[in-house]
């Protein structure tokens, strides 16, 4: 019986070692789950992706939408999905203080750039992280915040992907790879630019991407490079891909995925998140 019990313990440990581990980390706002791939050995640096939620949502809800934690084993990255702070309204909605357009509607002085920087540093203190692949993926308000981080922390951020966000960040000190994903039928953060609630005006999807193409030193107009199926509620390959890669500075490029007929929260296809993760990890710093 003792031998049988010992074998069961060994099998249990082997099984646990073969699955992604969820641990926690605290950068000053309480513990957050850290999703670690089963291949992580503490010696080989792993990419880091921060997933930033939209206005009123949470990190856990955003992960449930995109399913990124289910991909850490397949792609070998570490994932953290932090929470913004709660606003002072009766709804206590979570938000990121990203820009004048979205979504600090109650005048908070919270410094989310500082918080997310501390979070990155905290993860790096506990895990071996690939400094050339520290990326952000944000939805809506999280997309705005991803742009803000790309500007304010361009020295450490390799790439960002924004779904239904917009850029208001100005000119960064260093190039960063930028992917904008946006539906043409978005009535919250309009594809062609506009304003949301009491926020200031924001640029459209193409203007955001063209701005970063300029920041990154890319030459010429964007080049259509194909189509994708990102929204399973729409027929066919509804998404057009436009890339700005010619003449860009090392570590910089810009790309636009236009979901024709897509809304603010598309019904993401089975491979939507895989394509985004592959794009982020495929665009490192030099």
How many independent structural domains does the chain possess?
1
Question: Residue 15: inside a domain, yes or no?
Answer: no
Q: Which two tokens stand for residue 1?
A: 């019986």
pTM value? 0.91
Could you tell me the residue range of the domain that residue 118 belongs to? 20-281
φ and ψ at residue 75, rounded to 5 degrees: -115, -5
pLDDT of residue 225: 97
The answer to whether residue 286 sits within a structural domain is no
Q: Report if residue 65 sits inside a domain.
A: yes
10: β partners: none
Question: Environment class of residue 235 by beta-carbon count within 10 Å: exposed (0-12), middle (13-18) or buried (19+)?
Answer: exposed
Residue with tokens 């194909």: 226
Which residue from 132, 164, 158, 156 is spatially nearest to 253, judged by alpha carbons?
158
Does residue 5 fall inside a structural domain? no
- Tell me how far apart the alpha carbons of residues 120 and 116 are, in angstroms, rounded to a whole number: 6
The two tokens of residue 16 are 């646990």
User: d(Cα 76, Cα 39) in Å, to the nearest integer?
Assistant: 7
Apex CA 205: angle with CA 202 and CA 206, to 5°?
Answer: 115
- Which pLDDT value is given to residue 16? 36
The set of residues, in sequence order, having a beta carbon less than 8 Å from that of 235 and lying 6+ positions away, is none
Tell me what pLDDT residue 220 has.
83
Contacts of 3 by beta carbon, 8 Å cutoff, 6+ apart: none
Q: What is the pLDDT of residue 168?
A: 85
**Residue 54 falls within a domain, yes or no?**
yes
35, β-bridge pairs: 22, 79
Q: Is residue 77 part of a domain?
A: yes
At residue 275, φ and ψ (nearest 5 deg) are -65, -40
Within-domain flag for 238: yes
Between strands 201-202 and 85-86, the pairing is: unpaired
Domain with residue 89: its CATH number is: 3.40.50.1820
pLDDT given for residue 22 in this prediction:
55
Structure-block tokens of residue 94: 């979570």
Question: Does 6 fall in a domain?
Answer: no
Mean pLDDT by 10 residues, the chain (286 residues): 36 37 85 96 97 97 98 98 94 94 94 98 97 98 98 98 92 96 98 92 96 95 96 97 96 98 97 98 98
């Amino acid at each position: 019986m003792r031998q049988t019990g010992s074998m069961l313990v060994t099998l249990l440990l082997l099984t646990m070692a073969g699955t992604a581990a969820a641990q926690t980390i605290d950068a000053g706002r309480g513990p957050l789950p850290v999703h670690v791939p089963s291949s992580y050995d503490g010696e080989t640096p792993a990419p880091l992706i921060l997933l930033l939620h939209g206005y009123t949502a949470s990190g856990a809800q955003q992960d449930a939408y995109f399913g990124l934690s289910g991909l850490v084993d397949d792609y070998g990255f570490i994932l953290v999905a932090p929470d913004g702070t709660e606003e002072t309204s009766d709804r206590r909605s979570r938000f990121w203080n990203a820009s004048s357009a979205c979504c600090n509607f109650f005048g908070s002085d919270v410094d989310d750039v500082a918080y997310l920087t501390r979070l990155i540093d905290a993860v790096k203190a506990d895990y071996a992280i690939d400094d050339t692949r520290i990326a952000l993926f944000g939805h809506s308000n999280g997309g705005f915040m991803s742009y803000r981080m790309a500007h304010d922390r361009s020295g450490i951020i390799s790439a960002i992907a924004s779904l239904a966000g917009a850029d208001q960040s100005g000119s960064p000190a260093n190039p960063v790879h930028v992917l904008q994903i946006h539906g043409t039928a978005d009535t919250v953060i309009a594809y062609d630019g506009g304003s949301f609630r009491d926020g200031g005006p924001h640029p459209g999807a193409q203007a955001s991407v063209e701005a970063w193409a300029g920041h990154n030193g890319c030459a010429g107009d964007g080049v259509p490079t194909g189509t994708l199926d990102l929204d399973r509620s729409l027929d066919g390959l509804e998404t057009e891909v436009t890339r700005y890669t010619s003449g860009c500075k090392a570590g910089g490029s810009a790309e636009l995925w236009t979901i024709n007929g897509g809304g603010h929260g598309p019904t993401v296809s089975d491979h939507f998140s895989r394509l985004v993760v592959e794009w982020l990890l495929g665009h490192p710093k030099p």
